[in-house]
């Protein structure tokens, strides 16, 4: 049995970034860039008007003749004299001979002429070429996560494809004869299966959309076949069947499929019977079957591996520091992951903490870490917690 820190280190050692792939920009949301992007053009690529108004050559003359109009998309050039102006609209190209745009609110229009009521400074309301970024400059570094604003920004350069790190293909296997799907009256001795939808939701909410769900009964041969199929994925998650009961066949089935065991069992509560291994191309996490244990192991361990695989540079756990409101005991000599509520740095621990219970997960917003060596934590003592269930 190993410690939490040892388990995390082993995961970092064996998890690796997936290959890069060309992706349509419109399909790349949530992916991480595999290379830096340089600006193919300057933005703006021509001098633009920042206002609706009039483009002119700034001087001493305040009465100007309007000789034409420039709207967005026009490419017409004008020969503008010092006593002339061009009607112009926001985003339109500023004629080469004009150096200033005056807001329409600051002129008085009289037929085909304008009278300047408030003279602007030279270059006012003119967006210069490359004001946002110059051609050849770095737009984004490798490792950047693509979001909606980045998609919009890159499109403004005319970019339609980007090189990104592949997103992991994931198979989720759920085991157990006692499991019954929700939606029908509960049979005697059965429980409604919740781990599949819980873990699938946890994956998809974090951008991991390629999830294949498989279910298998507690049978060795069936478990072997299902695991063999799941090993075609980049990451295999197995829920249940990893303990040492007479009908827990997952460990034996993994060994039969040639999956290398890297560690089994962690000195923690809940989630002690976590199994981690790998085959040639697949990382495997066999999670405990109890719901709270399963979710804890996913959040602490499997999610870190998925981040590394998908190119997320921020794969370390985002623990924060809070202060306990009540005395907390650790009678087990294990690292505890317990649920609570954090508000303004104050942590209140829920009384119901069990590997089979999801009620505290459903209500809480903090997963608190209690070190194995700490037997008693006093009120006001600082502890680490992982924010959960937050938008």
CATH number of the domain residue 155 falls in: 3.90.105.10
Same domain flag for 85 and 55: yes
Asked if residue 174 and residue 111 are part of one domain, the reply reads no
Is 147 part of any domain?
yes
**173 located within any domain:** yes
pLDDT of residue 87: 98
Q: Residue 117 in contact with residue 29, Cβ under 8 Å?
A: no
Q: Do 157 and 130 contact (CB within 8 A), yes or no?
A: no
Residue 193 belongs to some domain of the structure: yes
Question: How confident is the model at residue 244, as a pLDDT?
Answer: 67
Bridge partner list, 175: 216
Domain boundary among 275, 310, 345: 310
φ, ψ for residue 226, nearest 5 deg: -70, -40
Round to whole Å and give the CA distance between 180 and 275: 25
- Say whether both 14 and 78 belong to one domain: no
Rounded to whole angstroms, how far apart are CA atoms 336 and 30? 32
109: its two tokens? 């229009």
12 in any annotated domain: yes
Task: Return the pLDDT at 246.
Answer: 63
User: Where does a domain end: 127, 142, 175?
Assistant: 127
CATH code of 347's domain: 2.40.340.10
pLDDT of residue 357: 85
Condensed to tens digits (0 to 9), the pLDDT of residues 321-332 reads: 999 999 999 999
Q: What is the CATH number of the domain that holds 296?
A: 3.40.980.10
Q: Which residues contact 118 (CB under 8 A, 6 or more apart)?
A: 102, 106
Q: Give the pLDDT confidence score for residue 34 in this predicted structure.
A: 98
Residue 83 sits in the same domain as residue 173: no
Give the pLDDT confidence of 352-386 residue by residue, as tens digits: 888 888 999 999 999 999 999 999 999 999 999 99
Same domain flag for 293 and 241: yes
pTM, 2 dp = 0.88
Same domain, yes or no: 291 and 177? yes
Whether residue 160 is found in the same domain as residue 66:
no
Cα(129)–Cα(122) distance, integer angstroms = 16
Phi, psi of 45 (to 5 degrees): -90, -5
Q: Which domain holds residue 144?
A: 20-43+131-165
Q: Cα separation of 331 and 377, whole Å?
A: 11
Measured in degrees and rounded to the nearest 5, phi and psi for residue 75 equal -125, 10
Q: Clarify whether residues 273 and 177 are in a common domain.
A: yes
- What pLDDT was estimated at residue 360? 92
> Total domain count for the chain?
4
> Of 259, 283, 310, which closes a domain?
310
| Shared-domain flag, residues 97 and 192 | no
Q: Give the separation between CA 49 and CA 120, rounded to whole angstroms.
A: 14
Ranges in the chain, pLDDT < 70: 244-247
In a domain, 315, yes or no: no
Q: Are residues 11 and 88 in the same domain?
A: no
Residue 350 and residue 264 share a domain: no
Same domain membership, residue 63 and residue 184: no
Listing DSSP states for 283-312 in one string gives EEEEE-SSHHHHHHHIIIIIHHHHHHHTT-
281 contacts 234 by C-beta, under 8 angstroms: yes
């Amino acid at each position: 049995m190993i410690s939490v820190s040892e388990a995390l280190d082993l995961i970092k050692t064996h998890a690796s970034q997936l290959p890069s792939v060309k992706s349509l920009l419109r399909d790349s949301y949530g992916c991480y860039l595999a290379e830096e992007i340089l600006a193919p053009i300057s933005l703006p690529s021509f001098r633009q008007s920042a206002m609706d108004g009039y483009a002119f050559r700034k001087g001493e003359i305040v009465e100007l003749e309007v000789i034409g109009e420039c709207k967005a998309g026009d490419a017409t050039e004008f020969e503008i004299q010092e006593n002339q102006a061009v009607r112009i609209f926001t985003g339109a190209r500023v004629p080469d001979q004009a150096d200033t745009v005056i807001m329409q609110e600051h002129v008085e229009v009289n037929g085909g002429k304008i009278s300047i009521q408030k003279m602007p400074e030279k270059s006012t309301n003119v967006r210069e070429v490359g004001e946002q970024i110059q051609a050849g400059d770095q737009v984004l570094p490798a490792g950047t996560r693509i979001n909606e604003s980045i998609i919009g920004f890159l499109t403004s350069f005319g970019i339609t494809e980007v090189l990104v790190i592949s997103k992991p293909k994931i198979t989720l296997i759920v085991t157990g004869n006692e499991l019954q799907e929700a939606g029908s009256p509960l049979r005697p001795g059965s429980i409604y299966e919740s781990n599949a939808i819980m873990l699938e939701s946890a994956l998809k909410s974090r951008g991991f959309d390629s999830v294949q769900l498989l279910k298998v009964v507690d049978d060795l041969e069936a478990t072997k076949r299902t695991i063999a199929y799941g090993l075609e994925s980049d990451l295999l998650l197995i829920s249940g069947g990893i303990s040492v009961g007479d009908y827990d066949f997952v460990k034996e089935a993994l060994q039969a499929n040639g999956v290398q065991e890297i560690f089994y069992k962690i000195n923690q509560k809940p989630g002690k019977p976590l199994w981690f291994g790998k085959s040639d191309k697949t990382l495997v996490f066999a999670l405990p079957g109890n719901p709270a244990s399963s979710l804890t192991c996913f959040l602490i361990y499997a999610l870190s591996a998925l981040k590394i695989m998908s190119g997320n540079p921020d794969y370390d756990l985002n623990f924060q520091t809070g202060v306990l409101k009540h005395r907390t005991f650790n009678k087990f000599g294990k690292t505890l992951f317990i649920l609570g509520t954090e508000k303004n740095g104050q942590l209140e621990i829920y009384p119901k903490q069990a590997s089979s219970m999801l009620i505290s997960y459903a209500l809480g917003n903090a997963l608190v870490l209690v070190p194995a060596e700490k037997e008693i934590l006093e009120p006001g003592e600082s502890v680490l917690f992982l924010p959960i269930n937050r938008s």
